[in-house]
Amino acid sequence: MLNLPLRNMFEKKRIAAIDVGSNSVHMLLVEMESPEEYKVIDSEKEQVRLAASLDSDGNLNNDALNRLLSVLKKMKEIADFHGAHIRAVGTSALREAKNGNDFVAKIYKKTGIDIEIISGHEEARLVYLGVQQGLPIQDKSTLIVDIGGGSTEIVVGQWGEERFATSLKLGSVRLTQGFIQSDPLSDENLRSLELYINTRLEPVLSEVERVGFDCAVGSSGTIKAVKSLVLGLTNAETPPSLHGSVLTAKEIWIAKEAILRSRSLKDRKQLPGLDSKRADIIVAGIFVLSGITKILGVREWMISLTAIREGILYDTMLRDGFWLQGDTSDIRWRSVRSFGQKFHIDEAHAFHITSFSVSLFDQLYEKHNLSNSWREYLRSAAYLHECGLFIGHTGHHKHTFYFIRNATLPGFTTREMQIIATIVRYHRKRMPRENDEVYCDFDKDMQKAVNICASILRLSVSLDRGRQGKIHEIKLNDLFMEKMSLSLYMRAGQDIELEMYEAAIEKKAFENVFSSSLEIVLEH
């Protein structure tokens, strides 16, 4: 199901999204049945191994051209038969080939398909866009990893915005060519491969850690192949679809051990559940996956069968004007982000606080029973809570209050801006008093809601006091009547003494608002 914004008028349209990857070429051909859903008419996948066809000078050879021509001619025939509009993008192999543009020109001349060679960042963006359409991750800070043939895309996104996105030259085909020099596998090759991968992952993943994420998604053929292998090794029943299923860190180690025991290509082709076409490149693929899992301490991955093709599909509809540019909620969030950026806020910190605030709001729903409108007010307040630092630290909560109160943000009413400003006003120092400016104009129910949101925001701010994203998950539990427990999950070796000190202070307002004591517990 594709989550699409509404449009004023709807016309059925058929679109063929083609991903010319470094390992395979995929086509997804769909018909939009309504603004909210589409029907898959056809899909095609052919392995072409473009990355393996780059010569020593960095050019794609004629064999690669002929293979790709054969595949694309077939796909165009299918698309033309169904009357579908074609959009094709080329990724790592075409991006890096010295003759990439000439290669694409020849393809266009012979097939009429105009392949757009996209940047690594754009590829990461489209992957994130596609994953959003298939999994309920919109309000979660989500790490998405797509291990392709020529590159690996790493994205951290939330609410439709990329907080971090990059593309690394760590594709399974590329690494196989560079490091798998013997059959059977040699210890020396494997050590060199692992060292190379981890050396290039560590500086990038340290930034991912700083930004932080709540859940992890894998959208590549590699992660699906690893899950299928695990199911085969354990004789587990294979589900109808792997989409939305979970691959744990333990399962990755099981698969990796099995692959490393099968030193020869012939042996790997016999592994249960593993597609024999991936037997040569699975070694490099699982080294990248296990490296990311270990460095970031990922406990489990959610598997997505939607990725760049769905991203191309959705992006095409927006680009061609088939849909309105986002619904009201999206307009409001873009307004908030744009406003915050004008004041040069620390976005990594702002997103941490926003994630904590929304998470607490959701976990406390049965206690406060506030509408989703208040969830959005809190989200906006959390993101903007430090705008006042533009003037200075002293009294910055008051500066932020006046900035927001007097701002004009598309999508928000004047009253809503007052609510958001007031929540921010009380994220530090004292809580509201009856005769406070603006607050005194709210009715009792609104005042109560502001108090609830402000107390949540105060506690959330304390949990990233050091601005290093040391706490990556929080879980609230009811112990018994009038007592709650907040578990803080952090990575081993982190010192959160400052956060614990601040939380002990700020939890008092939380306890008063919710008429409950709060115990804070550290988890690793």
Give the DSSP per-residue string, 215-243: EEEE-SHHHHHHHHHHHHHTTPPPPS--T
Indicate the angle between helix axes 347-363 and 444-462, nearest 10 degrees. 130
**What Rg value do the Cα atoms of the chain yield, rounded?**
25
* pLDDT the model gives residue 492: 65
- In Å, how far are 151, 229, 260, 261 from 257, measured between CA atoms? 24, 11, 5, 6
Angle in degrees, CA 149, 153, 154, rounded to 5: 145
CATH 3.90.1510.10 for domain 136-305, yes or no, is no
Q: Is 430 exposed, middle or buried (0-12, 13-18, 19+ CB in 10 A)?
A: exposed
Angle in degrees, CA 516, 521, 524, rounded to 5: 150
Q: Cβ(459)–Cβ(428) under 8 Å?
A: no
* pLDDT the model gives residue 328: 37
Q: What is the pLDDT along the chain (524 residues), one digit of tens a residue?
A: 344 333 344 456 899 999 999 889 999 999 976 555 678 999 999 989 898 888 888 899 999 999 999 999 999 999 999 999 999 999 989 988 999 888 999 999 999 998 988 888 889 989 998 999 889 888 889 999 999 988 999 999 988 788 899 999 999 999 999 999 899 999 999 999 999 999 999 999 999 999 999 999 999 889 999 999 999 999 988 888 899 999 999 999 999 999 999 999 999 999 999 999 899 999 999 999 999 999 999 999 999 999 999 988 888 776 554 443 333 345 678 789 889 999 999 988 999 999 999 999 999 998 999 988 899 999 999 999 999 988 988 888 999 999 998 887 776 777 888 999 999 999 998 999 988 989 998 989 999 999 999 999 999 999 998 888 888 889 998 766 788 999 998 876 778 889 899 989 999 999 999 999 999 988 86
* pLDDT the model gives residue 154: 96
Cβ density class 153-181: b for 16+ within 10 Å, e for less? bbbbbbbeebbbbbbbebbbbbbbbebbe
The CATH class given to the 328-523 domain equals mainly alpha
**Gap between the Cα atoms of 112 and 119, Å rounded:** 22
3-state secondary structure (DSSP) of residue 246? strand
Angle in degrees, CA 297, 300, 304, rounded to 5: 125
Indicate the angle between helix axes 120-134 and 308-319, nearest 10 degrees. 100
Q: Is 413 exposed, middle or buried (0-12, 13-18, 19+ CB in 10 A)?
A: exposed
Task: Let me know if the fold of 14-119+310-319 is the same as that of 136-305.
Answer: yes
Single-letter amino acid code for the residue at 299? R
Each domain of the chain, given as residue ranges in start order, spans 14-119+310-319, 136-305, 328-523
Structure tokens at 2: 């594709």
**Gap between the Cα atoms of 75 and 475, Å rounded:** 48
CATH of domain 14-119+310-319: 3.30.420.40
3-state secondary structure (DSSP) of residue 163? strand
3-state secondary structure (DSSP) of residue 381? helix
